[in-house]
Structure 1
Amino acid sequence: MDFLKKAKQHMKELEGDLNKATAQLGFGEKSHHDEAQAPIAAAPPSSDSTPATSNINTPATSVAPSTAGGDAPKTKLPLAIRKAVRDDFENKLPELEANLSSVLGQPWKISFDCGHLYTFAVNRFAKESPGKMFTEGIQDYIQQSGEDGKSELNTLASSHIMTLEQTQNPKISYSGCGISGGMFRLLFTGEYLGSNLSSICNELATAINEAGKSSSPDGGAALDFNAKSDIKKNYEPAIGEVKAKLQSVLGLPMLELHPNFERNFAAVTAYDVSGKKSTIFPREWQKRFGRSTLEYFKYLVDQLERQGFAKDEMLQEGYQEVVDKNEIGLRVVDKLQKGHYNECVFENGVLYMQTTPEYWTSNMRDAGAKIVDML
């Protein structure tokens, strides 16, 4: 993470210089507890799906409106503000873009229409520099998501342009972010430009997921970013040890496990969006998808040990005669044959642990119960 430390150090050095510009532009941190103030001038809200194409390096006499705001009128900034934009923002822009590009590993551009944004500003002293707003949230995201997260953001925001826009998204209270039209968009609602800057990228993983769904031919049935990240973080490093225990308990020289990630994820996703969810259905299950899959196999080990397989060669031989393919799978089905939450079945020489979308992760400890009675 040397590139992150270097980028953060650059941002700290810039904060003092940038505070002057942001104070005059009204880009400072505004707590949601503060009393609301009316914007200096009204302007049409931007569309989250329309790119902001104007460049902030506009002539000194006026600042062209961003096309993200539709037919927003041209805004002529006071001389002192124009000078602050030039001296403390535009002159710093190459370094800000260099830091952002360093963090993300590819060339990126920052496209802010300061003239249009000024119409949403409120006059108060800045508490955070825009440089921090641009990069710190992304750095935190990359620290959590690693190279895969960086790759996803670079792929989905294919233009490699960061914008700052007003949004009508009801899911965003003060500030947030999104990806649309190939751009990574920092977003604010109403007059809350500059509010809650420290959390502006808190839901970047969610934005990655939503952008990934919209770009998926099957409408999001494939694994989303949260699921893929959890599989890599919690399933892949641990499944080898679990597999070795299963082989030992069952006396198997070899064993193949089938987690059926894509099939199970698609089935649970379909139920999740159906509007028929039960009260016990897990929230944010995608973020634990890899860990939950691992736990099904871990609890199978526990069940087999409790049923005496580890020390009984007769039980091991009986199992091997029925499950002659030495394969164990986990699958989500529409309806169980006998169980309520989950069950085990033998099918074509394979042992399957089964559950339904409604009861995904429910009573996982019992997934391997009564295998002895089935032999």
Structure 2
Amino acid sequence: MPRLPPAEKLPLAARKNLRDEWDSKKGELEKKLSDLLGVAWTVEVDPKALFPYAEEGSYGNHSPGNLITEYIEGAHSQLSYIIGRTGGEIYKTDLNDLAHAHVIAFDYTDDSSVYYNGAVVNEQGQLVIVFRENALGTNISSALEEGKLKKALQTAPSTKPLNFHARLSLAEDYEPKIAELQAKFSKLLNTDITLNNNAEANFAKLNGAEGIDSDWDQGFGRTLFSYFEGLYSQLEYNKFGSDDMLQEALVEEVSAKKIEIRVLDEIKASYHEVAIEDGILYIQTAPKKWAYNASYAGEKIMDLL
């Protein structure tokens, strides 16, 4: 369906409903959104532009004010749930960064991947609630549910070095656990060890690489953690924690006391390998081998010593 021109004038009943059920509540709803997101957000909606998409006799046709209010209340409810979960702060941070205009707007879309409604971040930095043909007012409360918000942030114009999927995975699957694992490495080897995932460089190497799984970025943080966890398990299995000779041999070679992950164009091993350069212990893999058997990272560690 082609985009429809705005209505020249709304019926009196529709104008009254807008005044009573949207205009009178707009400020309060904007404040709730702003309090939740930590910065001032506003809602920009042109009822005349929305009205032509409301079928005769539909909710949006006779109660456009209620319709808009329910969309914004639904957006607030969905955002509250998402942000309140463990790791949900990444949604708040990225929403404020990527939707930098801090505006919620509405628009029609003919995007066939949108079912009823969804969201996009446009070039102007607005978070836009979009709706399909004959779907204005359908499933109102779901317009900003997590999957739809995630898609909006993933596809938003961005200059960030990592896409949203990768940042989300780091926030949920890597950052909450890495300090504890680093402490375990230090205890096992009886010296302070630093873990460095080289996230930005590795993402750049993987992004768009030939042969990599299409959804690799959604598990980016989990995979990075698995490589470090796999190496720890191999060190533990080989008794580094209880053998002073093994500890001293490894620490002597890894003089920088750093363990890092790096993605190379190619490696000789089947899935991953370990190498020591300039006093740094590297867990190495290649794009086509990314994430495969990560739990066995470091299985050849004894060969280095």
TM-score scaled by structure 1?
Answer: 0.71
Q: 1:100 to 1:313 in 2, by over 3 A?
A: closer
Report what 1:365 is aligned to: 295
Asked if residue 201 in structure 1 is aligned to residue 132 in structure 2, the reply is no
Aligned equivalent of 2:109, options 147, 167, 182: 167
SS in 2 for 1:310: coil
SS in 1 for 2:200: helix
Q: 1:234 to 1:340 in 2, by over 3 A?
A: same
Rounded to whole Å, the distance in 2 between the matches of 1:141 and 1:318 is 47
1:333 shift after superposition: 0.8
Superposition pairs of residues 292-331 of structure 1, within 5 angstroms: 292-331=223-262
Q: 1:374 to 1:95 in 2, by over 3 A?
A: closer
Report what 1:119 is aligned to: 52
1:166 shift after superposition: 0.1
Superposition pairs of residues 231-250 of structure 1, within 5 angstroms: 231-250=170-189
Cα deviation code 1:154-174 (max 9, x no counterpart) = 333233222111012232122
Say what the alpha-carbon RMSD is for the aligned residues.
2.5
SS in 1 for 2:10: coil
**Whose Rg is larger?**
1
SS in 2 for 1:290: helix
**Identity value in percent:** 35
Q: 1:350 to 1:165 in 2, by over 3 A?
A: same
Report what 1:158 is aligned to: 100
1:87 shift after superposition: 2.3
Q: Is the 8 A contact 1:141 1:201 kept in 2?
A: no
TM-score scaled by structure 2?
Answer: 0.85
Q: 1:78 to 1:290 in 2, by over 3 A?
A: same
Rounded to whole Å, the distance in 2 between the matches of 1:88 and 1:249 is 63
Report what 1:210 is aligned to: 155
Q: 1:270 to 1:105 in 2, by over 3 A?
A: same
Asked if residue 139 in structure 1 is aligned to residue 77 in structure 2, the reply is no
Asked if residue 95 in structure 1 is aligned to residue 28 in structure 2, the reply is yes
Rounded to whole Å, the distance in 2 between the matches of 1:327 and 1:150 is 32
1:266 shift after superposition: 1.3
Q: 1:200 to 1:357 in 2, by over 3 A?
A: same
Report what 2:127 is aligned to: 184
1:125 shift after superposition: 5.0
Q: Is the 8 A contact 1:329 1:352 kept in 2?
A: yes
Rounded to whole Å, the distance in 2 between the matches of 1:143 and 1:95 is 21
Report what 2:217 is aligned to: 286
Rounded to whole Å, the distance in 1 between the matches of 2:297 and 2:83 is 36
Asked if residue 79 in structure 1 is aligned to residue 12 in structure 2, the reply is yes
Q: Is the 8 A contact 2:211 2:287 kept in 1?
A: no
Q: 1:129 to 1:81 in 2, by over 3 A?
A: closer
Report what 1:48 is aligned to: none
Rounded to whole Å, the distance in 2 between the matches of 1:302 and 1:98 is 50
Cα deviation code 1:213-253 (max 9, x no counterpart) = x231xxx6x12333334323432332222122223333x42
Q: 1:191 to 1:125 in 2, by over 3 A?
A: closer
Q: 1:320 to 1:130 in 2, by over 3 A?
A: same
Report what 1:65 is aligned to: none
Asked if residue 264 in structure 1 is aligned to residue 196 in structure 2, the reply is no
SS in 2 for 1:164: strand
Q: Is the 8 A contact 2:6 2:52 kept in 1?
A: no
Q: 1:301 to 1:83 in 2, by over 3 A?
A: same
SS in 2 for 1:76: coil
